[in-house]
Amino acid sequence: MSNIPDHTGALTCGLRDFFAAADGRGLAQAYARIAAAGATPPPPADWDETEYAFNRLFVGPGPLAAPPYSSVYLDPEPRLMGRSTSLTRAVLQAVGLESTWIGSIPDDHVAVELDAALALRNIAATTGPGPGGELAALRRYFVAGHMARWVPRFADRVLGQLSLPGPIVTATRKLELWLEAELAALPPDAGAAPARDIPQPSTGGDYA
Amino acid sequence: MSGWDRTRMERTLENGVTRRGFLKGLALTGAAAAAPCLLLRALSADANQRFGEGYQVFRNACPRNCYDTCSIKSYVKDGAVRFVEGAPESTYTHGGLCVKGNSYVRYAYSPDRIKYPMVQDGRGTGRWKRISWDEAMDRIAKKILELKQQDGSLLGLALTKYSGNFGITNYGVEGLMSSLGYTTRLVGTPCWPAGIDAQNFDMGNMWCNDPEDMTQSRYIIIWGANPAWCSVHSMKYIYAAREAGAKIVVVDPVLTQTAAKADEFWQVVPGSDGALALGMCRHLLDLGLHDAGWLKANALGFDAFAAYLRENVTVEWAAKTSGVPAERIRAVAEEFARAKPATIWIGYGMQRHVNGGASVRAIDALVAMTGNIGKVGGGARYGHLQTWGFNYHAMIRKPPEGSKGFVGAAGPKGEFDFAQGGAAVKYTDRALNINKTAQEILDAKDPAVRMLWVSCKNVLSQDFDRNKLLQAFKKLELVVVADHFFNQTVEQADIVLPVTTLFEEWTVNVSYWHYWLSLNEQAVKPLFESKSNIEIAAALSKRLNELAPGSCTFPTQLDTREWMEKEFNKKVYELFGIQSWEDLRKGPVKARMPQAAWSDLKFGTPSKKYEFTSDLCAKNGNNALPVYVEGRKPYDKLRLLTPHSKFNIHSQFQNLDWMMGFNPAPVVYVHPAAAAERAIKDGDTVRVFNKTGEVRLTARLTANVARDTLLMYEGWYKGLAFNCQNLVDDTPADMGKFKTGAPGVAIHDQFADLVRA
Amino acid sequence: MAKRLAFLVDAKRCLGCFTCAMACKNQYATEPGVNWREVYPLQADIYPHHERAFYSLACNHCEKPACLEVCPVQAYSKREKDGIVVHHQEKCIGCGNCIRSCPYGAPRYNPVEKRAEKCSLCHERIDAGLQPACVQSCPVAALTLIDLAAGEPDNSVQFPPGYPKMPALNPATRFRQAELPIIHRREDI
């Protein structure tokens, strides 16, 4: 699998739709979008097992095996609507946007953050870096300083589960590659800061 | 800004003022940026208000099954509750909550919360699919209509609901059932029914003094209650009484936390409390320390009681039966009679025995014969429902025309059945005993119970004889559960519905102990797709009426705030001295009632007096007098007690990570001698077993329990299969049916043995 | 005159209910396992009944704090006006010196943020005229805020049994001892 940046946003949209899917049909449709954006293993004939696993990992009703919210991984406390959620919301607000789920589903759900990354890329493409490079800095913060700090841990949590159906493995691996490509696609930074704030594995405090 | 720095960027983003200047001059339009995005839209106009510098403060109330029913202040920022505090306006809550209340932010925002309606493909398999609310309502509605069509009634649909949420509008669940027709109801209460009946037989109502008047008690006996764990806000009044010179005595089979704070602790044989109280009564009679004047004016049947005491009760017998030294029985009885006023706090644990009702009557008698009923600082305290005079607009609903139901005697459906009374009807709901849920479901026929609706209850964690319950569930064709967390009942559900927490709905709350009224405002939007119980009812009604017009009389649209408003009436306003519910936004208010229950000495009994001789009690299958009734004979080697922990309210709170951090695992407490006999050391894993089932857990050795007693606390620990109900059978208590529709359960008359695992 | 704020831990009144410990978590949303305040049951040699007497402990806001002495980046400061020892989290580099040096275990390691943190006596609340979250929430006033500059509280000790005696640090916390009821155990067994 290559790590060519997703210029058309097709992969971003496919991943977003996958992690936001409400049922097996939604998962199948999203998977098709992912497949259209690049080489992908064939889909299963029956999506039931994938749907059950998807719910077990990301939705419920039981405790989630891999909660798809940044605040679970980044905040001092694995919770919803934490500090990280507020930061994501602030990033959106800074560019005049809000989540359609606002108030009822945390803004830092991976699907919302994928959409946010897409929005920031589109704005950068149409508007440029902004006065004093502020827009570029905001985009760099969001992708390198926020998503890059939790998405890999989220992916690790998913891939560490046993007996994962193929589509979930594929989507998660594609998510990791998407992130690498997004980071590579960030405009070079004038300052001396590193391209990526590499998180250390945590020894405790993980939501388990 | 050159380069970037994560910390600095985060500070900019969090600082509203700086953020508004950020990206100034870029003239971005949100709409353009949102174009390819599915989950984003342009910022709405009021967005800036949401990022206020300070907090919005809301009024809430803890709706759990707890004496203290705290008034809460919730601090909201950016659309989420950030932290909570106790309301300072209530002298009872006094600005602070408890270990459970302080974990509410973790409760509401736990990643474990059930988020969407879901359906399980095969009960207990863990194969869950998400469905929309429309689909969930459709499935449920169709099943209900199928039942009606096949059985000719809705008696095949049963509701089991109890104390998970005491917000008054949640009686809309019962309202939903009534608006469908005549259904089956699991009636009664596992909690306190024997004592309720006992107090009704003695005085005509269960009505305790204002707990805040304990500061004026000169003698307090806490009998089979553990307020240091289960009513922490009451302890300050007990301490104040002691500072003013009162004596505090605790009677309990266990050296509880409350016992450790008392002046004197009596370790008592479980279930022998009636004998102990009668022994004290006999001694006072002999010394003439009873209040003859009060008794003459206010009591019926004291002479008969005195005769019974003389013929059947001695202090020596009471000492032998209860294990309490005779000399202490005499001394404390005298102290109690001489201290004026004196009071006894009768705990719910005390009456969870086969003779629980009789024991309460005996303790009531001790308080009455010393003239302490109707006095500030006195009284036989148990509970009250004096402040619960709402409209029950959510609960009281008419069935559809032509509904068929059960033909037979209709009793109360529980102590909170405020819908009782009214004209005789041809049909009623079918009442099954909630304390024998498993057996009743197994036995029910014509029609069988085919569908179960569970709300504000956790059947498989809390009901008795868990193995039998699992058998009973096999008979059910559809199990619908409304809940917050994936507990042992949700594991066995077909459809789960996510409900709102206290922060996400409007309602109103009062207590069964203190005299305060609290508003519960909606502080934040419902999380995910959760709905309040009445919104669920409305949604179901909508679908039912689409499929079969007229099949449900519950309104199809509602607003929880309006329904909260509709619960208020003139009586409530007068009782609390407010003009409107809006006054409660400023804080909770206290009822303008005399602090002493029965201060006018107009008892609610048939004779209008305190009845030592109660014909009503006799008519209900017991003795007219508060006689001694023997306890349950042991059926195994050691007694097993399963009372309440400070870390949870039944199956709520203990599952939270914050609580697991302070209390990680269930424990069985064993006396060192009993442990030694079984080669069990402190910290060993043990198997506790009896005829009903078994549990595995860690043993801790302590002399806080007697050598013939095992102690474990009921509760639900996240990720653990531990459930003490594996060991508890459904043997009834002696009273409870009169006022609550079903007898209580002898929860603490269980026995077991243990062995190293 | 400058204040010397301190916690008064009244083990006689204390119920071991953990309200204080949870009130702190409620206020600061601390990491699981990282509890700035803990409630410790007293051992049998100090109080004979298992899990029936407790000391609620956070930071002792010592006169000569060990944490402050050993911090290489001045992430601790002691306020002149009231003696509160504040931990400045943003300066902390997670070296662990304070964690190793405090004999009372007040600074805790946060493995996610990779730095130390501890009770700073709710100094922002104090400055707003409020009580610390733990003190406000205690249902029986077993945990209260006192000013040692106004004198030692009645009937209290600085170093009760079971609590490390470090007079050089001069911890500010004061204690009242737990008491025992008269106990009558069953005579039938």
Asked whether residue B130 is assigned to any structural domain, the reply reads yes
pLDDT of residue B19: 54
What is the C-alpha separation between B180 and B429, in angstroms, rounded? 11
pLDDT of residue A93: 86
What is the C-alpha separation between B315 and B312, in angstroms, rounded? 10
- Other CB atoms within a 10 A radius of the CB of residue B563 amount to 24
**Chain A CB within 8 Å of residue B131 CB:** yes
Cβ-based contacts of A76 with chain C (< 8 Å): 29-31, 34, 110, 112-113
pLDDT, tens digit (0-9, with 9 covering 90-100), for B397-410: 999 999 999 987 66
Beta bridge partners of B58: B74
CB contact under 8 A, A90 and B131: no
CB A183 within 8 A of CB A140: no
Asked whether residue B600 is assigned to any structural domain, the reply reads no
pLDDT of residue A206: 31
CB contact under 8 A, A60 and B486: yes
CATH number at residue B739: 2.40.40.20
Asked whether residue A191 is assigned to any structural domain, the reply reads no
Q: Which domain holds residue A153?
A: 10-185
Q: What percent of chain B has pLDDT over 70?
A: 94
Total domains in chain A come to 1
Total domains in chain C come to 1
Q: Are residues B394 and B368 in the same domain?
A: no
- Would the pLDDT of B53 be above 50? no
- Would the pLDDT of B577 be above 90? yes
What is the C-alpha separation between B86 and B93, in angstroms, rounded? 6
Q: Taking residues B678-692, report their average pLDDT.
A: 97
Beta bridge partners of B207: B384
Binned at pLDDT 50, 70 and 90, residue B483 comes out as very high
- Would the pLDDT of C162 be above 50? yes
Cβ-based contacts of B32 with chain A (< 8 Å): 126
Total domains in chain B come to 4
Kindly state the DSSP code that residue B219 receives in the 8-state scheme: E
Nearest by CB to B42, which of A97, A122, A123? A97
Beta bridge partners of B639: B709, B751
CB B457 within 8 A of CB B160: yes
pLDDT of residue C62: 97
pLDDT, tens digit (0-9, with 9 covering 90-100), for B11-37: 777 765 555 555 554 445 555 556 667
Domain-terminating residue out of B318, B347, B382: B382
Task: Show which subunits contact A, needing at least 3 CB pairs below 8 angstroms.
Answer: B, C
CB B733 within 8 A of CB B744: yes
Token code pair at residue B274:
């009636």
| Residue B566: closest CA among B522, B499, B508, B516 | B508
Asked whether residue B263 is assigned to any structural domain, the reply reads yes
**Chain C CB within 8 Å of residue B637 CB:** no
Asked whether residue A37 is assigned to any structural domain, the reply reads yes
How many Cβ pairs within 8 Å bridge chains B and C? 142
Cβ-based contacts of B110 with chain C (< 8 Å): none
**Chain C CB within 8 Å of residue A104 CB:** no
Asked whether residue B489 is assigned to any structural domain, the reply reads yes
pLDDT, tens digit (0-9, with 9 covering 90-100), for B350-409: 999 999 999 999 999 999 999 999 999 999 999 999 999 999 999 999 999 999 999 876
Binned at pLDDT 50, 70 and 90, residue B48 comes out as very low
Chain centre to alpha carbon of residue B450: 27
Cβ-based contacts of C180 with chain B (< 8 Å): 260
CB B298 within 8 A of CB B601: yes
- Would the pLDDT of B591 be above 90? yes
Q: Which domain holds residue C158?
A: 5-176
Between B39 and B74, the higher pLDDT residue: B74
**Chain A CB within 8 Å of residue B112 CB:** yes
What is the C-alpha separation between B111 and A57, in angstroms, rounded? 11
Between C162 and B336, the higher pLDDT residue: B336
The ipTM assigned to this model is 0.96
Asked whether residue B65 is assigned to any structural domain, the reply reads no
Between B283 and A5, the higher pLDDT residue: B283
pLDDT of residue A75: 76
Asked whether residue A152 is assigned to any structural domain, the reply reads yes
Cβ-based contacts of B81 with chain C (< 8 Å): none
CB contact under 8 A, A205 and C33: yes
Q: Which domain holds residue B226?
A: 208-382
B322 to each of B274, B275, B688, how far by Cα in Å?
9, 7, 26
Asked whether residue B435 is assigned to any structural domain, the reply reads yes
Binned at pLDDT 50, 70 and 90, residue C29 comes out as confident
- The number of CA neighbours under 13 Å toward the Cβ of C63 is 13
Q: Taking residues B99-120, report their average pLDDT.
A: 95
Domain-terminating residue out of B346, B363, B382: B382
CB contact under 8 A, C136 and B95: yes
pLDDT of residue B18: 52
Asked whether residue B708 is assigned to any structural domain, the reply reads yes
Q: Are residues B433 and B355 in the same domain?
A: no
**Chain C CB within 8 Å of residue A208 CB:** no
On the 0-12 / 13-18 / 19+ scale of CB atoms within 10 A, A160 is: exposed
Asked whether residue A153 is assigned to any structural domain, the reply reads yes
CATH number at residue A27: 1.10.3480
Distance from CA of B336 to the nearest CA of C (A): 17
Distance from CA of A136 to the nearest CA of B (A): 9
Nearest by CB to C26, which of B83, B235, B263? B83
- Residue in A81, A127, A163, A186 to test binding to B, most B beta-carbons within 10 Å: A81
- In 3-state terms, what secondary structure has residue B207? strand
- In 3-state terms, what secondary structure has residue B747? coil
- Would the pLDDT of B412 be above 80? no
Cβ-based contacts of A203 with chain C (< 8 Å): 111
CATH number at residue C146: 3.30.70.20
Asked whether residue C188 is assigned to any structural domain, the reply reads no
pLDDT, tens digit (0-9, with 9 covering 90-100), for B124-164: 999 999 999 999 999 999 999 999 999 999 999 999 999 99
Q: Which amino acid is at B146?
A: E
pLDDT of residue A44: 95
Beta bridge partners of C56: C39
Tell me the whole-structure pTM to 2 decimals. Answer: 0.90
Asked whether residue B580 is assigned to any structural domain, the reply reads no
Q: Write out residues in chain A with pLDDT < 50, as ranges.
A: 1-4, 191-208
Binned at pLDDT 50, 70 and 90, residue B457 comes out as very high
Between C32 and B696, the higher pLDDT residue: B696
- Would the pLDDT of B562 be above 80? yes
Distance from CA of A72 to the nearest CA of B (A): 8
Q: Are residues B130 and B148 in the same domain?
A: yes
pLDDT, tens digit (0-9, with 9 covering 90-100), for B524-548: 999 999 999 999 999 999 999 999 9
DSSP per-residue codes, B501-566: -GGGS-EEEE-SSS-EEEEE---SPPSTT-B-HHHHHHHHHHHHHHHSTTS--S-S---HHHHHHT
| Residue in chain A nearest B497 by alpha carbon | A61
Q: Are residues B145 and B182 in the same domain?
A: yes
Beta bridge partners of B701: B670
**Chain B CB within 8 Å of residue A100 CB:** yes
pLDDT of residue B719: 87
pLDDT of residue B756: 97
Token code pair at residue B68:
């203290």
